Structure 1
């Protein structure tokens, strides 16, 4: 699966979970860039991404991400 395809699918999840159709993600996007992305919504995003891609992240993986690009890398690895 290509990074661009993963990014597209993740962006749709972010827009749905955060209820904001204007969200545009890129590899450098962080929680500081998106007003609605707080600790509670972060958990909701993780759960939705795990469901979408039928994978499970470890706590260590989740805590290591600094941006959306690192999240994508982790999805590709799985």
Structure 2
């Protein structure tokens, strides 16, 4: 799976979770950039990503993420394993 495919999938997830058709997943995008990105929506993003990409995340892996770019790298690494 390529990074552009992962970004496209995350864009779809973010648009659905936040009900914002204009939202685009970019490497620097973080929870600080989206007012509605609270802990509940964070869990929704993680669960939707696990389902969409067929991966599972450990809490410790998610704690180190700073932005969407980090999340894409994590997904890519899990898909390659």
Query: TM class, shorter-chain normalised?
Result: over 0.9
Deviations 1:9-61 (A, max 9, x none): 10100101111111122101110111121111000110000000111000011
Q: Which runs of 4+ in 1 moved over 4 A?
A: none
For 1:64 and 1:51, the matched residues in 2 are separated by 21
What does residue 14 of structure 1 align with?
14
Structure 2 length-normalised TM: 0.92
CA-based RMSD of the aligned residues comes to 0.8
| Cα offset, 1:70, TM superposition | 0.4
Number of residue pairs the alignment of both structures matches: 78
Structure 1 length-normalised TM: 0.95
Unaligned runs of 5+ in 2: none
